[in-house]
Amino acid sequence: MKIGVIGYGNMGSMIVNNILKLNLLLDDEELIVSNRHLNKFESLIEEYPEENLSITSDNKEVATQCQKILISVKTPQFKEIIEEIKPFLNESTHIIYTCSGLNFNHIKQYFDGKLSLVIPTLASTVTSNNSISSLARRKGVTLVKHNSKVELQERLFVEDLFNEFSYVRRIDNPIYFNEEENNLDPSDNELEISTIISSCGPAFIAMMIKKFTQTCSESSNISQDEIEDMILKTVIGTAMLKDDQGLSNEDIINKVATKGGITQEGVDLLDKKFNKISKALIKTLLSRYDEVNDEMNKTYLKK
């Protein structure tokens, strides 16, 4: 079976490299990866000269040869791709796409077949020291949503693949979800909020580490690198207290902050100020989602 990937950017390359690093292709499986500029593939070809990988800049080649096609281009670029490959798709084609903000209804006029939305995360990047067991090496959360045409085996193909290196969270129960009836509560922001946490999250966490590093560095003679290293080790250690030992946030706060002590002052300050910033963040992002949805409606649902 040939599996196609169109778009070798941040997400496409992460997924392709994870598949190859973890040796996830079966003997009879082959990857065909296409990208607009071929120079992006230089290190991939050097690292994986095997026969079960081919690269191209011709998306039609992917569409004619593959039944499973993962499209991972920027959301506005999706339309030109689907228009380009549409003549080569048939009812057994399964399109798996990573484009945030693009829903099944948008795509339906161009391709009315099997569709899965997958929202991956940079946090799932596989590194050389990854563990052999998929449970131990999973990092980050991948969101997955299928339309009703996707059959059990096809759903499992997608979910099992991403479960190899991340925790898969299915957004709707695909068995009961009927996108034709559009029976989702419009105030249900499960996909958007989950995307903000799992896929935007690494950028927000990196931003918080950056800002905290800057402030600590301005208030001391310690180098930025040493500060960032200390913060990182503290973040990982704290996450493990929760993950390995099951401590709650309250447990951790109570164990670290003694009443009247220095930590408690900081905890109180964060308690007062952080609500405001996280509410503003979520509000801004949800309204950006609405704007993107309007833009997509204009682009895709033209009469």
Ligand X SMILES: NC(=O)c1ccc[n+]([C@@H]2O[C@H](COP(=O)([O-])OP(=O)(O)OC[C@H]3O[C@@H](n4cnc5c(N)ncnc54)[C@H](OP(=O)(O)O)[C@@H]3O)[C@@H](O)[C@H]2O)c1
Which residues bind to ligand X, rule: CB under 6 A?
6-12, 34-37, 40, 59, 72-75, 77, 80-81, 98-100, 119-122, 199
Q: Is 83 or 225 the residue whose CB approaches ligand X more closely?
A: 83
> CB 26 → ligand X: shortest distance, Å?
26
> Which residue's CB is nearer to ligand X, number 55 or number 150?
55
Give me the least distance between CB of 275 and ligand X, in Å please.
26
Phi then psi for 142, rounded to 5 degrees? -105, 130
Shortest Å distance, C-beta 160 to ligand X: 19
* Residues 6+ positions from 49 with CB-CB distance below 8 Å: none
> Would you say 62 or 227 has its CB closer to ligand X?
62
At its nearest, how many Å lie between ligand X and the CB of residue 98? 4
Closer CB to ligand X, residue 59 or residue 93?
59
Shortest distance (Å) from residue 298 CB to ligand X: 17
Least distance (Å) between residue 210 CB and ligand X? 17
Nearest to ligand X by Cβ — which residue? 9
Phi, psi angles (nearest 5°) of residue 115: -130, 135
Least distance from ligand X to the Cβ atom of residue 188, Å: 20
Alpha-carbon distance of 89 to 65, in angstroms, equals 10
Nearer CB in complex with ligand X: 11/66: 11
Q: Three-state SS across the chain?
A: CEEEEECCCHHHHHHHHHHHHCCCCCCCCEEEEECCCHHHHHHHHHHCCCCCEEEECCHHHHHHHCCEEEECCCHHHHHHHHHHHHHHCCCCCEEEECCCCCCHHHHHCCCCCEEEEEECCHHHCCCCCCCCCHHHHCCCEEEEEECCCCCHHHHHHHHHHHHCCCEEEECCCCCCCCCCCCCCCCCCCHHHHHHHHHHHHHHHHHHHHHHHHHHHHHCCCCCHHHHHHHHHHHHHHHHHHHHCCCCCHHHHHHHHCCCCCHHHHHHHHHHHHHHHHHHHHHHHHHHHHHHHHHHHHHHHCCC
Q: Of 10 and 238, which CB lies nearer to ligand X in the complex structure? A: 10
Nearer to ligand X, 168 or 257 (CB): 168
Q: Which is nearer to ligand X, 107 or 227 (CB)?
A: 107
Closest CA to 247 of 237, 262, 260: 237
Can you tell me the distance from the alpha carbon of 159 to that of 58, in angstroms, rounded to the nearest whole number? Answer: 27
Least distance from C-beta 22 to ligand X, angstroms? 19
